[in-house]
Each structure stands twice: as C-alpha cells, then as structure tokens.
Chains A and B, each alone.
Chain A
Amino acid sequence: MNDKKLHEQFLQSLRTEKRWVRFYQLIILIAFFGLWELSSRLRWIDPLIFSSPYKVVNLLVDNISDGTILVHISYTLFETVLGFILGTLLGTILAAILWWSPFLSKVLDPYLVILNSMPKVALGPILIVAMGPGMGSIITMGAIISVIISTIVIYNSFRNVDANYLKVLQTFNATRSQMFKEAILPASFSTIISTLKVNVGLSWVGVIVGEFLVSSKGLGYLIIYGFQVFNFNLVLMSLLIIAVFATIMYQLVELLERKLIKSE
C-alpha cells in the first residue's frame, strides 16, 4: 500500500516536471515571437528586412487561401523526401558493395575521403548543366549531399559487426550474401536509422541550394525570389515553413526508429 503511494508520488513528480518543461518551452516560443513583433513595431529592428510575425502570418494566410504556397511546398517536399530516400538507399547499397569486396574498399578509400570532404553543393552548377534545369538535378543535389557520408558511416558499421556472428553462419556453410542478409544488415539497422536522422537535415540543404540555383518553383525559389524583389516577408515565411516540415520529417524518422527498436 505504502509502495503504491510512493509510486504515485513518483509519477506525480514526473508529470509536474514535464509540465514545467512544456511551460518554459512555450514561454520561449511566445517570448521569441512577441519580442520580434514588438521590436519590429517599435522600429528597434528594420521591419523592411526583419519583417514581423504579423506580416508573415498574414502573407501565409493569403498564400494558402489562393493556393499558391501549396504548390511550392509540395514541390520542395517531394524533392527533399526523394533526395533523402535516394541518398540513404544509395549509401547503403554502396556500403554493401564495399563490404562485399574488401579489395575494392581499399582501392576506393582515398576517393571516398576526397568526395566526403568536398562541399557537394559546389557540384550544383555542373549538375544543372548536365541534367538540365529541372526537378531531376535538384533531387540529385538532395541525394548527392548525403550519399557519401552515409556510405562511410554505414560501411563502418558493417565492418564492426562482431566477427563471431559470421563464424556461426560460416559453420552453417552460409554464403556471403546470406551472411549479409542474416547478420550484417540487421545488426546495422540502428546505424542506418541514425544516418537517416542526419540525412534529413542534409537533404534540405541540398534541395534548397538546388532551388536557389535554378528552380522556378519551391520554397528555395521563394527565398531567392523574395531576396531579389526585396520582399523579406516572403523569405521569412518560407523559412518558417521549412522549419516546420523539416521538424516533421525528423519526428517521422524518430517514430520509425522507435518502431524498429521495439521489435528488436
């Protein structure tokens, strides 16, 4: 009975703490937007450059009601999700090939290092010339920015799988592809998920930069357009939308992670 009471108290204290955390998170949010609005109205900051929450929301409502923004959002979202999936998938496949052939991985090692340290967005102009100024080259940007680092991280995780698991499989006369399927890949799931988390952010960078360079649609285009016509309401609105959707994508990956780890 007493134990039950103590447990109740413990749960209560957890709930109280959580409530306080939420409270302060809310305070920061309100303070940020409140201060932004206030300083813009009182001209502490230049409203032409820094806009104000009121103007941004107004613009957002206008754009939603005439439907234009949805087109831009769906373009960028589609490119980002595809680039993100392609980047991770290609990274995993490349890592599998490197694991398959230790010789090849030795040969390619310095090239991976070079490609990894190179800023991939610098390839943008070449990609656009080569693939044409369309969605294809933007998706490629979203993928290319994450593929090499995914390859390196996932390949390392493949190599670090305990050799004794392979020994067990070897005594069952397993082929190399069976070893990959039964031990290497499932043992590396958690690493692949954590590269997914990193790749969410990277793909947004790739796609937005790609849209800066070439596109006539999408949130990156809106930012550049807003900058060119000096409409910073538009720039900040796009930024807010990006922040919201990038967060949603990240949360979805975390959800996937929880699902997979639970089943393990």
Chain B
Amino acid sequence: MTFLSVSNVHHTYFSKEATTQALQDITLSIDKGEFVSFIGPSGCGKTTLLSIIAGLFEPTSGSVQIENQDVFGNTDLSIGYMLQQDYLFPWKTIEENITLGLKLFKNDKKNYENVASKLLQDVGLPPVERKYPRELSGGMRQRVALARTLAVNPKILLLDEPFSALDYQSKLKLEDLVAQTLKEYGKTAVLVTHDLGEAIAMSDRIFLFSPRPGRLHQTFEVPEELKVLTPFEARAHSSYSSLFQLIWKELESLE
C-alpha cells in the first residue's frame, strides 16, 4: 500500500545569475511503516527533495502526496523533521522544547508534563524536563530533538542527516535508538545521509540519486536478514559488506 507518493517532481532554483535544476522527474513511492534512505553525491538534490516532502516549499512541477493528500500548504498533516543539529530553543526548558509542537498544533495551554516525561523515557533519557538544552551533551540533545519530533505524533519522519554532527559512539547508539523507536511507533521514515553504511544499516530500501540535475539513479532493496537486525548488528553482518560494495561501485561511477 502506497503511503507517500512523489510523482514527476521537477525543481529549479532561480537566482540572479543563473537557474539551477535541482531535481528532474523524480517519481517514487514509499509504503507505510517503511524506512528508506536517500543517498548520493553532493548536489544530487536529496535535501531539496526532503524539504519538498516536508511541505516546506512547493516543487516547480509535480506533486507529493501522503495518503492521497497534497503535502504543500496542508496544515492538517503533521510531519516530523529532524535536522543535522538539534535546534532546541536555548531559552526553553527541555519540557517546553518537547511540547512546543503540541502547543502550536493544538493552540491551547494544557499541561503536557506527562507527554514530556514519557517521551524522555522512550528516547532513553533520565528525567531532565526542567533542565535547559545547554546543560545536556550533543547526543542527549539530539535525543530530545527526536522526542520533540515524536511528540506531535507525525505521520512521517524526515531525517536530514541527524547523526552527522555527533561523535561516532553517540551516532551508533542513536541509530539504534531511532530505528527501534520508529519500529515501536510504526512510523514511516525517510533518511537523508551521506553515510552509506548508515543507510544500509538502518533502511529497508535505499534510493541512490545522481547529481546535476538530481535524478533517481537506482533503488536498492536491503536484504531481509539485515532488515530484522538493529543497525549496530547489521553493520557486523556479511550481507552488509556485499551490499556496501555494490552501492559503493554505483556511487563511484556517478562521480
């Protein structure tokens, strides 16, 4: 069953000096509960596509639909978006940060204390509701950002290189946490990454894009035996390295 469908999306950026075609004729579809990754060399438009899926701006042509509803300008649709950095608001407590989306959506001043403490548990954090972001480490802050994203119960999670600013150890731990949490919540997710290993370890399917203009080059299905493993375990599996080699060669051929 198709959950998210991207049909014939073209996108061109205009500036005074030039027009740049970022995306050309992208068509793809993602099933409910599926975890997919967008990878490709820089300039392949993967982040542009993610922003379009998030409804942050409208593509030059083509359409993006979630459960047959257009995403752009649709205020009923809740989408979770995680960025490279946590972008927690430094003047808000952890609790206020987590419940920010709820407050904006529902627009009332109900107390969401229980929501925050439950989510903190879910993302493996001690009760730090009353603390401020600067009192937490980078890894913990990114966990809070995940909690903030999950708080609004989004239909789909869009992850824009959310692990790339972390140290390696936090990154591996957080990959496991995100994969496990999304599975528990049954969320559909799209991950943009430049880390091929991360894409293989976390995803069910991988979309490889080619640059200038961004086009969908090839789709890889991750073998069943890797899908059932946690990202950390998957990295140690033998199928992991063969898939890595396969996609690596394709990536090389693009440059």
Q: Which of A218-264 touch B at CB < 8 Å?
A: 263-264
Minimum C-beta distance from B110 to chain A (A): 16
B90:A264 contact, CB within 8 angstroms = yes
A171:B91 contact, CB within 8 angstroms = no
Q: Which chain B residues border A167 with CB–CB below 8 Å? A: 56, 81, 83, 87
Q: Which chain A residues border B104 with CB–CB below 8 Å? A: 169, 172-174, 178, 182
Distance A162 CA – B85 CA, assembled complex (angstroms): 12
Known contacts A164-B85, A164-B87, A264-B90, A172 near B100 by CB under 8 Å: yes
CB of A34 within 8 Å of the partner chain:
no
CB of B80 within 8 Å of the partner chain:
yes
B152:A172 contact, CB within 8 angstroms = yes
Distance A261 CA – B89 CA, assembled complex (angstroms): 14
**Who on chain A is nearest to B80 by CB?**
A171
How many interface residues does chain A have, given as a range?
10 to 19
A168:B87 contact, CB within 8 angstroms = yes
**Who on chain A is nearest to B97 by CB?**
A168
Q: Which chain B residues border A178 with CB–CB below 8 Å? A: 104
Q: Which chain B residues border A102 with CB–CB below 8 Å? A: none
B89:A186 contact, CB within 8 angstroms = yes
A173:B91 contact, CB within 8 angstroms = no
Minimum C-beta distance from A176 to chain B (A): 12
CB of A121 within 8 Å of the partner chain:
no
CB of B222 within 8 Å of the partner chain:
no
Minimum C-beta distance from B150 to chain A (A): 13
CB of A183 within 8 Å of the partner chain:
yes
> Dominant SS at the A interface?
helix
CB of A170 within 8 Å of the partner chain:
yes
Minimum C-beta distance from B76 to chain A (A): 9
CB of A165 within 8 Å of the partner chain:
yes
Distance A174 CA – B85 CA, assembled complex (angstroms): 20
Q: Which chain A residues border B56 with CB–CB below 8 Å? A: 167, 170-171
CB of B44 within 8 Å of the partner chain:
no
Total number of B residues with any Cβ neighbor in A under 8 Å: 19
Chain B 86-110, CB-CB to A under 8 Å as 1, else 0, gives: 0101110000000011001100000
Q: Which chain A residues border B132 with CB–CB below 8 Å? A: 264
Q: Which chain B residues border A171 with CB–CB below 8 Å? A: 54, 56, 79-81
Distance A152 CA – B50 CA, assembled complex (angstroms): 35
Distance A167 CA – B85 CA, assembled complex (angstroms): 12
Q: Which of A3-50 touch B at CB < 8 Å?
A: none
Q: Which chain B residues border A183 with CB–CB below 8 Å? A: 89
**Among candidates B79, B85, B87, B89, residue contacting A182 with C-beta atoms closer than 8 Å:** B89
Distance A170 CA – B78 CA, assembled complex (angstroms): 11
B105:A168 contact, CB within 8 angstroms = no
Q: Which of B101-142 touch A at CB < 8 Å?
A: 101, 104-105, 132
Q: Which chain A residues border B89 with CB–CB below 8 Å? A: 165, 182-183, 186
Minimum C-beta distance from B83 to chain A (A): 6
Known contacts A171-B54, A172-B152, A164 near B101 by CB under 8 Å: no
CB of B75 within 8 Å of the partner chain:
yes
Q: Which chain B residues border A186 with CB–CB below 8 Å? A: 89, 91
**Among candidates A173, A189, A263, residue contacting B75 with C-beta atoms closer than 8 Å:** A173
Minimum C-beta distance from B137 to chain A (A): 19
B79:A264 contact, CB within 8 angstroms = no
**Who on chain A is nearest to B73 by CB?**
A173
Minimum C-beta distance from A73 to chain B (A): 37
Minimum C-beta distance from B136 to chain A (A): 15
Q: Which chain A residues border B75 with CB–CB below 8 Å? A: 173
Distance A33 CA – B184 CA, assembled complex (angstroms): 77
Q: Which chain A residues border B83 with CB–CB below 8 Å? A: 164, 167-168
The 5 A-B residue pairs whose C-beta atoms are closest, nearest first, are A171-B81, A172-B101, A172-B104, A186-B91, A173-B75
In the assembled complex, 8 residue pairs joining A and B whose CB atoms fall closer than 8 Å, in A order, are: A164-B83, A167-B87, A172-B100, A172-B104, A182-B89, A182-B100, A182-B104, A187-B91
Given contacts A172-B100, A173-B104, 8 further A-B contacts (CB under 8 A): A165-B87, A169-B100, A172-B101, A172-B152, A173-B105, A182-B100, A186-B91, A264-B90
Give me the interface of A with B, judged by CB distance under 8 Å: 162, 164-165, 167-174, 178, 182-183, 186-187, 189, 263-264
